[in-house]
Amino acid sequence: MLLGWIDELALIRSDPTKNILKSFPLDVKRVVISSITDYFNQQNATAKNYLTTTSHVEWVMEVLGHAFQLPIADHQTIDRAINVYNKWLFEEAQRPAPLQENLQYFVQQIFNHFSLLFEERGLDGTLGTGGSGSQEEKKHHIHLCNRVLDIFLQMGVKGDMLEEETWNHILKIILGITDSTLRGKRGLPELSYGLLKVLFELWLCSLSDDKTMWRHLQEHGILWSKNNATINQWNSVCIG
């Protein structure tokens, strides 16, 4: 369950066994997602103890992940889903035991889900429709995306908890989101500067010497070379 553009670029392949709620009616999804999200947001210390197996965690994450595909009118539910994932990423005591035991895998899945937020959607939640509703909803969408970008940066600071495979996974996610926004025109152009800043900072924080990863950055980055945001952010990296 991740941004479709990332799958199209073959950076990361989507798992066909995920996205269970995709075809359910919106009103049904809203009830399920808001109920689970509110419960874990408010009572995570208790709720996490009910997740005793990997399958339990994956089921709850299926629901939480779908929050990032809801219409932006449901911004409060999306915000609470971000809260839950933020706790699980950065507060060890707040993690369900199976997540802690298989941390690298679940960190990768959480960032997959975050990527879903970076696509414009219609009022019914239809992705890639080129509109996020009212200007007020667009403000909410930008705010939510910036919250997630802050989490990307926090993860860069906490990089010592990541194995190389997970580092590369997160870099591919932010690379795909950036390409989707700058070249695919599926995201919010207002996020261009922020995305590039996070992309370049994370790449440097990773200390990656993986030739394949650098080739990915070169191949996609050259396609944004005429974008003013790319030029300005790259200059900032070189100067800074």
User: pLDDT tens, 42-85?
Assistant: 999 999 999 999 999 999 999 999 999 999 999 999 999 999 99
| Tally of domains within the chain | 1
Q: Which residues contact 69 (CB under 8 A, 6 or more apart)?
A: 22, 116, 121, 125, 127
Give the per-residue pLDDT at 126. 58
Work out the pLDDT band at 120, boundaries 50, 70, 90. Answer: confident
Q: What's the pLDDT at 230?
A: 83
pLDDT reported for residue 113:
98
The parent domain of residue 27 ranges over 4-239
Annotate 114-126 with b (16+ C-beta within 10 A) or e (fewer).
bbbbbbbbeeebe
Diameter of the chain by CA atoms? Answer: 51
The SS3 call for residue 121 is: strand
How many Å apart are CA 97 and CA 95, to the nearest integer?
A: 6
Q: Comparing C-alpha atoms, which of 225, 161, 157, 235 is closest to residue 197?
A: 235
